[in-house]
Amino acid sequence: MNKVFLLKREDLAPGEVRQVQTGGCPLAVYNLEGRFYATSDVCTHATASLSGGEIVDGDLIACPVHDGQFHIPTGQAVTFPCTVDLRTYRIIEDGDQVFADLDAESEDAVSSV
């Protein structure tokens, strides 16, 4: 397990996304109605920062460059031009602190479905 601190729960309001640097690996951290998720922050199509994008339809992140979209819980690429899925990370919550395990995908990840 490679557990890294991301943020405190109160630092990211529901419906928001934020970039968190973890040892040179930028992650996009999301709060979807009180449930936290983490993915790679780099769009698989245009290498843009997804944390600069917008959460749409409740659980999709839209890339700020070409508006391709990914399903946040699974990392699945769902709209063109994005065709390669995002890397997701397992979230660990401990009290008011949110961590990611950089060695494990989220339970909802495409590869675990």
Residue 13 lies in a domain: yes
pLDDT at 95: 96
With cut-offs at 50, 70 and 90, classify the pLDDT of residue 111: low
Please report, for residues 1, 9, 73, 96, the alpha-carbon distance to residue 85 in angstroms, rounded to integers and kept in the order given: 23, 26, 11, 29
Closest CA to 14 of 27, 33, 28: 33
Q: For the residues 69-96, what does the mean pLDDT come to?
A: 96
Domain span at 43? 3-107
Q: For the residues 3-30, what does the mean pLDDT come to?
A: 95
Question: Are 105 and 111 within 8 A, CB to CB?
Answer: yes
Please report, for residues 32, 84, 107, the alpha-carbon distance to residue 43 in angstroms, rounded to integers and kept in the order given: 19, 9, 21
CATH number, domain containing residue 81 = 2.102.10.10
Number of domain units in the chain: 1
What's the pTM? 0.92
Q: For the residues 4-20, what does the mean pLDDT come to?
A: 98
The 10s digit of each residue's pLDDT in 17-64 is: 999 998 778 999 999 999 999 999 999 998 899 999 999 999 999 999
Residue 63 lies in a domain: yes
Residue 112 lies in a domain: no
100 DSSP β-pair partners: 4, 91
